[in-house]
Copies of this chain bind each other. A is one copy, B any other.
Amino acid sequence: MKPLVKKNTAAVTRDMVAHAAGVSSATVSRVYNNPSSVSPQKRTAVLESARLLGYVPNKAASALRRTGTGVITLVEFDKGSRPYYWNAMPAFNWFYGDVIKGVKSVIDTTMYHLNLETVTDLKQLDTLQDQCDALLLFDIDDPREADAVRRLSTPYVAAHHTGSYDRLWSCSTDNRAGGELQAVELDRLGVHRPIYVTSYHRSVQPHAERLEGFLQQWDSTHDEQAIVIEAEQRAYDLSEKLPEIYQCLKDGADGIACVNDRLLLRLFSRMTTSHIVRECELPAVGYDASPLSDIVPYRYSSVDIRQKLIYQRAAIMLLDQLSDPSSGRILQEVIPPVIVPGT
């Protein structure tokens, strides 16, 4: 650990505000931590003095006195062992920025710092949980992860893909609804006989849910069935499945839905380089709303799970939990996805 150095901050303290406002320092403290317990007159007097002096509560002192850490940790799972997980795909990291900004916009209104961590093993959660006051868990989508999370003794909210796990504080997307949106979108684009390309839908729960939603919606509104193609091995290579897909297109398939944008773009890319079809004209809907539309030569619609919103809500749930730990009620929220038409 490096040696450190003293830094004098603006150093406007609670006592100075108290003096200026003609109240005790305890009252100033109350104004910030439990405003309703202070009379309106004194409260406004304190706030006014604070504004004048440029007072900013000291988070370190607050955390210390509270004998907590003052830290909320956003945990990202490095699911390295899983086939094509997003964080092995740097191109899709744009996602992470949204998440951070969503969480931070909420945390910034409190005395907490936001800390970012990456774990490769669920056991690391135990270590992390006593280095912070609460955990925000990014992208829980596996039963083992869910179990590990339930065992946590620190307040937490699991976010993003967790809709299907109960007895878990969570704020998640609705993958079935997303699949339905894909079906509706293809219909809107005039498709009659779609191909649905997916992968690992047996082992990756969100993929299964999307497919279910899609098929249910499509089948309940069309006579012609959708063709499901699953690339299980080397999914993103797609080589083995290309002939099958071409054959479907020849046989009259006239649109594509795909479990995510990445696979869709990969497919398009393969089709382009093999010069077999004019994929640009094929109605298509992906998933994730990747902001790549102006640098790829394809038009596609996509499902936006609104991750920023999800993480904002998750952070709010976490703060609620933190301020009222008595309530043992586990809460779950779901943020519905929306469709983003191709342009």
Whether B32 pairs with A1 at a CB distance below 8 angstroms is yes
A269-303 interface (Cβ within 8 A of B): 269-270, 272-273, 280, 290-292, 294-297
Give the contacting residue for A1; candidates B33, B116, B265; CB below 8 A: B33
In-complex Cβ contact of A296 among B70, B92, B113, B269 (8 A): B269
Interface size class of A (residues with CB under 8 A): 35 or more
User: Distance in Å from the Cβ of A176 to the closest Cβ of chain B?
Assistant: 26
Q: Is A188 an interface residue (CB 8 A)?
A: no
B280 in contact with A4 (CB, 8 Å): no
- With beta carbons under 8 angstroms apart, the residue of B10, B273, B291 that contacts A90 is B291
Considering the chains assembled together, what is the distance between the CA atoms of A270 and B296 in angstroms?
9
A311 to B104, CA, bound (A): 22
Judge whether A294 and B319 touch: CB under 8 Å: no
Taking CB atoms, residues of chain B closer than 8 Å to A100 are: 116
What residues on B are CB-neighbors of A295 within 8 Å?
Answer: 91, 262, 265-266, 269, 292, 296
- Tell me the bound Cα distance from A70 to B118 in angstroms: 21
Within 8 A of B (CB), among A1-34: 1-11, 32-34
Count of identical protomers in the assembly: 2
Closest Cβ of chain B to A205, distance in Å, is 24
A330 at interface, CB cutoff 8 A: no
Q: How far is the CB of A132 from chain B (nearest CB, A)?
A: 9
The interface of chain A, by Cβ under 8 A from chain B, is 1-11, 32-35, 56-64, 66-71, 89-98, 100-101, 104, 109-111, 113-116, 118, 130-131, 133, 154, 236, 262, 265-266, 268-270, 272-273, 280, 290-292, 294-297, 319, 322-325
14 A–B contacts, CB within 8 A, in A order: A4-B62, A4-B110, A4-B323, A5-B325, A6-B66, A90-B97, A91-B295, A93-B93, A93-B94, A96-B97, A266-B294, A269-B294, A296-B296, A297-B297
